[in-house]
Amino acid sequence: MDSAELLDLLGNENRRRILRLLARKPCYVTEISEYLGVSPKAVIDHLRKLETAGLVESRTDDQRRKYYFISQNLRLEVSVSPYGFGAKSAYPASQSLDVTASCRYLKIDVGSREPGDVSDIAAELARLDQLENELSMAQRWVQGRLATVMERLGDELGVEDTRLYADVLGALADGPASTDAVEDAVDAPNPVVREALSELSEHGVVAQSDDEWRIRD
């Protein structure tokens, strides 16, 4: 589901409360209605929207009563700073994913652990809870460092539109690139990219040779 649509859907407090309740246990409409303090009709309307989005599903028990539960794992991340806004949604990666290859700057103990008895399962849950907390802290640290570096870049260049210049420099971080390649990387119109490269060149940050731009040593 598109992250913008997901944000709109979860903008309703009652729908968030429904998901919070269903994360604890599957529930019937009457249970949800009592929990929210709203009419069953309103609950059914919220559930219908959550079902359409694929966030919840329903089943019928032996007494032909319909109960609802969260259908899948889904993560929504929102980042807001003076230098950018972004939202993205993602489904959990397969357990076979080699995170050691994709996470270059993060060291994670991914040793294979197949829980045995209940005590092993409890220990694994505690370890994963701790890891989740550490990853959240790391994300906050990265966002703070990103803001600091962006502020420094703005001060160095004397510009306000720091995001564009940061993207241009990022496109050149791995080596020389043509104007067209930089344009594709930053997803900006050619005249805008050319102007940014020209200003960076005037500041002595980048240089052009053989129709390619590079960051000065």
Q: pLDDT for 58-101, tens place per residue? A: 999 888 999 999 998 888 888 888 878 888 888 776 767 776 66
Q: What is the DSSP string of 27-78?
A: EEHHHHHHHHTS-HHHHHHHHHHHHHTTSEEEEE-TTS-EEEEE-S--EEEE
Residues of the chain with CATH 1.10.10.10: 3-70, 159-215
The per-residue pLDDT for range 121-169, each reduced to its tens digit, is 888 888 888 888 888 888 888 888 888 888 888 888 887 778 889 999 9
* Residue entry with tokens 């102007």: 195
Domain 159-215 sits in CATH at 1.10.10.10
- CB of 71 within 8 A of CB of 35? no
**Quick one: pLDDT band at residue 206, thresholds 50, 70, 90?**
very high
Tell me which residue of 89, 85, 50, 88 sits closest to 70, measured CA to CA. Answer: 50
CA angle in degrees (0–180, nearest 5) for 168-177-201: 55
CATH topology of domain 3-70: Arc Repressor Mutant, subunit A (1.10.10)
Separation CA 75–CA 198 (nearest Å): 40
